[in-house]
Structure 1
Amino acid sequence: MALLWTVPLLPGGFYFYLGLVVAIYAIAALGLQVMVGLAGQLSLGHAAFLGIGAYTAILLEKGVGLSFLPALAAAGLLMAQLIRLSGVYFKIATFGFGIVVYQILTNWSSLTGGHVGVRAIPPIVILNLQITTRVGLFAVEMAALTIIYVLLVRLCHGRIGRALRAIGQNETAARSMGIRVDRYRMIVITLGSGIAGLAGAFLPHLMRFLSPESFTWYDSLLVLIMITVGGLGSLPGAIVGAALLTIVPEYLRDFAQYKMLAFGVLLIVSMILMPAGVAGVLRAALIGTLRRGGRVQ
């Protein structure tokens, strides 16, 4: 997180752009991490949540004239009420839901603009202050990422977090211990999808354009790979995975046709050789270094 905050100090606009993208996908990955890595509620259509959040925020900003914060809240609240299924039905429903949302965004051209998309994206307005520069956008994104991260850390170490971990490890055992599984599952689905909707609301302000092509099944798979490679169940892992899967492909553009193959191999290798993800490897290396230095008993 601290490294991300230093991105504006790097030379050149390319790294700054990557930092903006990483911040958005890190927010989305945190939402999916809570659902999958913490509570075991696998979502196969997470990009649909980003898409609805993005279109809700922009259409409210353009059509109703809401400022960014109310539009952002509306996007999150809308996302929080979409999925109310559980178990394997939830997994299948999220995959189908992603396809349905993409088709709606593509074909409801009178509302979404279809493949033409939404142009003339208005600037972010917060407390009558217009955010018109990329530096300002980056500050807003990072503020949102930092707040979400801190709140999720506190949640994960509290009573709700312990209940969600119990559900993710063994739902039957959790129910037998008196944990209200359905209630907590609804909490985590609401939270994860809502965070994804908030992340999606930033995308059009970065791209200055909004189209359904940003919310396909590929994007859902990408966010899932981010949290898996970074480390399932690890909040730092979600950010590390988002950074890796955003930055590395930019340096492998000559092999773009092999991107999906590379992602598949990376996913398999990480699950076999790094079950705790990249974040787990980094943490183990740091602890080992500190122990060799006599700082950790």
Structure 2
Amino acid sequence: MQEAVLLRTAKESLSQQNDFASATSQNRNDWIVFAVIVSILWSVPLSLGGFYLYLGLAVAIYAISALGLQTMVGLAGQLSLGHAAFMGIGAYTSVLLQKTLGLPFLVTLAAAGLTAAAAGLLMAQLIRLSGVYFKIATFGFGIVVHQILSNWTALTGGSAGVRGIPVISIIGFQVETRTGLFVCEALTLTLIYGLLVRLSHGKIGRAFRAIGQNEAAARSVGIPVPRYRMIVITLGCAIAGIAGAYLPHLMRFLSPESFTWYESLTCLIMITVGGLGSLPGAIIGAAVLIVAPEYLRDFAQYKMLAFGVLLVASMILLPKGIAGAGAALSRRKRIHAR
């Protein structure tokens, strides 16, 4: 009897060691890939400037937003069809607080994340719905938010939008150039990525993955599924709100039309093309979906068709996305090298 207990304890210890080694390896790989992506993201826009800097700014904003959606969909399997609405909530919260109260950007950035998180918490109350009903509810939530932004003209300016976007002020420093804005965005992206890497390889991240793979099985091992679903939805929406706070400072204009179902669909395609469940994949997907259309302007009328073809092709040819294909290629090279 005692030998059986010792054997079981040894097996559990070995399993925990293997899990820890696997998580550590994956953690290291995520940071290596991220370092490569960031080096490109920093060097190309800053060295070439001009239009390339504009693209770098847009990529960074949507990469942040895609990381939030990746956490919800790729890790926990909570598909949201209204993600852009939370970018809109963050954008309007930040800009209106700057314009009306003159608050510094770091305060309004935090407020953008908190307001979007509160809206996400409200949407998370829909978790009693399941399957396709939950997905439809998130789509409807996004439409409701867009209609509020479009029709509450006294606050948002309606379809006319908000002009005169204030300059970002951080600890007394005025961020008046695109280069300065890019540095702010890149630092925010790095911070959020680091937090998500740490979270995804910890206890909470394992619970998210268990829920995403099989909710019934997660419940059977004692994971409080409703609580973790609420946490991941709120977290993903907060990150989207932070991303949205930067968008008006890039566009120098704020309109509800920047936060329609089309943008939500684009974010979803980003994480699918990049690789569901992969944090680096979210950034890669954002880069592809932002940069590619700029070089295909002659075919702008076929943009949605192209996105649809890209989505279908990636699901057939690269079911784990670009990041998954890259990881598989790297493993194959290591095997052959031995």
Q: Could you state the TM-score of these two structures normalised by the residue count of structure 1?
A: 0.96
2:59 matches 1:43: no
Correspondence for 2:134 among 90, 108, 114: 90
Correspondence for 2:62 among 25, 33, 37: 25
The Cα offsets for residues 172-230 of structure 1, whole Å up to 9 and x where unpaired, read as 10011000111111110011000000000000011111011100110000000000000
Quote the residue 1:198 is aligned against: 242
- Give the 5 Å matches for 1:210-249: 210-249=254-293
Distance 1:12 1:161 in 2: 38
Quote the residue 1:282 is aligned against: 326
Quote the residue 2:18 is aligned against: none
Is there any run of 5+ residues in structure 2 with no aligned partner, and where?
1-37
Distance 1:159 1:136 in 2: 36
Shift of 1:80: 1.2
Indicate the larger mover: 115-124 or 236-245. Answer: 115-124
Distance 2:66 2:134 in 1: 19
- Give the 5 Å matches for 1:181-196: 181-196=225-240
2:297 matches 1:260: no
Distance 1:9 1:105 in 2: 34
- Structure with greater helix percent: 2
- Give the 5 Å matches for 1:45-64: 45-64=82-101
Quote the residue 1:80 is aligned against: 117
Name the % identity: 70
Shift of 1:290: 4.2
Indicate the larger mover: 29-38 or 125-134. Answer: 125-134
Dislocated runs of 4+, deviation >4 Å: none
Distance 2:41 2:334 in 1: 24
Quote the residue 1:107 is aligned against: 151
Quote the residue 2:32 is aligned against: none
Indicate the larger mover: 21-30 or 89-98. Answer: 89-98
8 and 257 in structure 1: CA distance in 2 versus 1, 3 angstrom threshold: closer
Distance 1:131 1:45 in 2: 31
Distance 1:101 1:90 in 2: 17
The Cα offsets for residues 46-75 of structure 1, whole Å up to 9 and x where unpaired, read as 010000100000001111111111111111
Quote the residue 1:16 is aligned against: 53
Larger Rg: 2
Partner AA of 1:3 in structure 2:
I
Is there any run of 5+ residues in structure 1 with no aligned partner, and where?
none
2:179 matches 1:142: no
Distance 2:274 2:47 in 1: 24
Shift of 1:273: 1.3
Partner AA of 2:186 in structure 1:
M
2:162 matches 1:118: yes
Correspondence for 2:104 among 56, 62, 67: 67
- 2:46–2:179 Cα contact (<8 Å) kept: no
Partner AA of 2:310 in structure 1:
L
The Cα offsets for residues 101-145 of structure 1, whole Å up to 9 and x where unpaired, read as 111111111111111111111111111211111111000000000
2:163 matches 1:163: no
How many residue pairs end up in the alignment?
A: 294
Find the residue that maps to 1:125 and give its secondary structure. strand
Partner AA of 1:70 in structure 2:
V
